Amino acid sequence: MRNSVKPSGRWLLHMIVFLSCCFSATVFSQETETSPEAGTTSVGATAANADNEATSQPEFDVLVKELTQGSLPARAQTAKKLAAFEDERVANVINALQQGTLYATKDENPLVAIVDEAGIYTDAINGEKITGGTEEFKRVPINNSMRSQLRTLLAQLNLTHKDASIRLDAVNRMIADGVDEDSISLLKNLQKAESDNGVRSAIESAVALFNLHSDDQQLRLGAIQVLKDSLQQEVRTALSNVAANDADEKVKHQAQLAIKAIDSSIAKYRFAENIFFGLSLGSVLLLSAIGLSITFGVMGVINMAHGELMMIGAYVTWVVQQIFPNQIAYSLAIAIPAAFIVAGLVGIAIERGVIRFLYGRPLETLLATFGISLILQQAARSIFSPLNRAVELPVWMSGSLQINPVLSITYNRLYILIFGLLVFFALLVILKKTTLGLKVRAVSQNRAMARAVGVRATWVDAMTFGLGSGIAGIAGVALSQLTNVGPNLGQAYIIDSFMVVVFGGVGNLWGTLVGAMGLGIINKFLEPYAGAVLAKVLVLVLLILFIQKRPKGIFPQKGRAAAD
C-alpha cells in the first residue's frame, strides 16, 4: 500500500511527474528540477521513520518478546502497551497474533517471527528473513476473549493512525466486517475528535449501519436517511435486508426509497465509468488514427503498415527499459522521443523507398504497404521472438484513483487520455502554425501550384510521412503501457483506426478526434449488452450504415477540392 499522500495531492504529484516526462524532450531542465522534488518526499518519509525506530527500539523489542510469554491476562496487558507505540511494526505484530501467524521460540530470549502464507518466516523485530531452524518456532497461543480484544486494538490502532486515508480504510473495513457494540462505542468516541470530513462521514455510515438494527423506529429511520447517500456494497445489502424484513412499514418504505436513490446514483457513476472507459479507448484510437489521418487525409496515402509503425514504437519502449532497467520511472521520457525518431525514420524510408513511386495509385499503395507490414511483422518475430513482451509500468502510472466505491480510474488510462489530447493539439499547432505545416497543407491542396511557388514537394512528402509515422511510434509507446508488446500489436488497431478516419472525415483532424472518442464511447456502451466481440461487429455495421447518411464522414471536406 502506498497510501502516504492524500488522493488529491497524489494526483497532483503524478501530474507533475507525468508532464515533466511529456515535455522532457523540449524542457529537459524543468524535468530535472521537478524530479528531485518528487524524490525528496519519499526520502524524507523514510528518514522520519528511522528516527522513530531509534528511540523506540529497546522498548519495542522487550514488549514483543513479553507478548509471547506468561499468562494470557498478562499478555493482554502487554498487547495494550504495545498498541500505544507509534511504530509501523506494531500493527503487523498484533495482526499476526490475532490471525495466529505469530510464532516464537521457547527461549529465555525468544525469537519472534511472522509467518506468511507461503510459509516464510520473517523476524518480527528486525524484519529479516529467517532461513534455518524454523522447526523450533511454535505458534503463540491466544484465546477467544483475547482475540476480540486484539481486533479492537487493531482497529483502534488504525483508527487513530495519523494518516487520514488509513483511518478511512479502517472504518470501511469495519463496515465490511460488520459492526458490533464494542466497535460502535469506539467509533462514537473517535467521531468527535475526527478532523477529516471523509473519515467522519464514513464513521457516520458505520454508526447508522449499526442503528439499522436498533429497536427504536426513529433511530432506524434516521439511519436510513444517513445511508441513502452511501455507495458501499454492504450498505446496500443491509438496506435491502431492512426493506424486505423490517417489522415497521414506514421503515420498510423508507429503506426502499433509499435503495432506489443508491441504485440511481450507482447507475450514474457506472455511466461515468463507461464514459471514461470509452474516452480511454477513444484516446488509444485517437493516437493510432491521427498519424493515419495525416498520411491518409493530408497526403492521400493509405499506409497499411501504420500498425507496424506503432508496433515499432512499442518495441522501442521495451528496448529502452531493457537498456535502463533501473530507471523505469523515467523510461518513458526516453522512449517517447526515441520511438518518434525510430518510427519516423522507418516511415521516411518507406516513403522514399516505395510510396513515392506510387503516388496517384492509392490501391497499389495499399497493397505495397501491406507487404511492408508483413515484412515488419515477420522481422519483429525474428528479432524479438513471437512471444509477447511485457513492458513494465512506471510506479507513477500504476494504481488507480478511487473516487468512490463504485468509480475508480486507473492512472495509466488517465494519463494516456491526457497524452493523446496533448499529441493531438501539438499536431494541430504544428500543422497550423509552423512552416512545415503550411507547406504540408499547400502540397495537399495543390501539388503543382505548391511546387511552382518553390515548395519542395518531395521533401514535404517525406517529412509529412515521417511525422505521421513518428506519431504512430508515440502511439505505440502509449499502447505498450496498456497491453503486452508483440508482433501483432499493430494489427489489432489498424482496422479500427481506419474506421475512425473514415468516420471522422478524411483530412480533418477534428473529425479524427470526434470520430475516435465517439467510436470509443459507442464501443464501451455496447459492450455490456452485446459482449466485446459483438459490440465490435455492431460498431462496424453501424459505421457502414452511417456512411449511407454521411458518405464523407462527420466533417466532410467541402467545395471544389472535395469533388473527385
The residue ranges that bind another protein (CB under 8 A) are 302, 354, 357-358, 362-368, 370-375, 377-379, 381-382, 495, 498-499, 502, 533-534, 536-537, 540-541, 543-545, 547-549, 551, 558-560, 562-564
Please, which residue, 72 or 495, has the CB nearer to another protein? 495
Dist. CA 221–CA 238, nearest whole Å: 13
Dist. CA 498–CA 297, nearest whole Å: 11
Smallest separation, CB 75 to another protein (Å): 58
Identify the residue whose cell numbers are 438494527: 213
Smallest separation, CB 471 to another protein (Å): 20
DSSP H or E stretch at residue 22: helix 7-22
Dist. CA 440–CA 436, nearest whole Å: 6
Smallest separation, CB 550 to another protein (Å): 9
Smallest separation, CB 523 to another protein (Å): 13
Query: CA-based angle 222:191:81, to the nearest 5?
Result: 140
Dist. CA 311–CA 377, nearest whole Å: 8
Please, which residue, 456 or 550, has the CB nearer to another protein? 550
Please, which residue, 51 or 564, has the CB nearer to another protein? 564
Please, which residue, 155 or 372, has the CB nearer to another protein? 372
Among 79, 99, 100, CA closest to 157: 79
Smallest separation, CB 382 to another protein (Å): 6
Identify the residue whose cell numbers are 467541402: 558
Which residue blocks in 100-196 are alpha helix, DSSP H?
144-159, 164-177, 181-193
Going 404 to 409 to 411 to 417, the CA torsion angle's sign is: negative
Dist. CA 240–CA 374, nearest whole Å: 58
Smallest separation, CB 306 to another protein (Å): 12
Please, which residue, 72 or 540, has the CB nearer to another protein? 540
Smallest separation, CB 208 to another protein (Å): 45
Cβ neighbours of 16 (radius 10 Å): 16
Residue type, 472: A
Q: In this structure, what are the phi and psi dihedrals at residue 102, rounded to the nearest 5 degrees? A: -95, 125
Smallest separation, CB 367 to another protein (Å): 5
Among 124, 127, 190, 137, CA closest to 161: 190
List, as own/partner pairs, every contact residues 445-449 make where C-beta atoms lie below 8 angstroms and the sequence separation is at least 24, other chains included: 445/561
DSSP H or E stretch at residue 401: strand 400-402
Please, which residue, 220 or 524, has the CB nearer to another protein? 524
Residue type, 333: A
Q: Which three cell numbers stand for residue 348?
A: 521516411
Please, which residue, 114 or 368, has the CB nearer to another protein? 368
Dist. CA 220–CA 236, nearest whole Å: 15
Identify the residue whose cell numbers are 501491406: 370
Please, which residue, 375 or 395, has the CB nearer to another protein? 375
Q: In this structure, what are the phi and psi dihedrals at residue 410, rounded to the nearest 5 degrees? A: -75, 145
| Whether the Cβ atoms of residue 391 and residue 314 lie closer than 8 Å to each other | yes
Smallest separation, CB 292 to another protein (Å): 11
Please, which residue, 150 or 301, has the CB nearer to another protein? 301
Please, which residue, 394 or 487, has the CB nearer to another protein? 487
Smallest separation, CB 285 to another protein (Å): 14
Please, which residue, 165 or 377, has the CB nearer to another protein? 377
Smallest separation, CB 531 to another protein (Å): 8
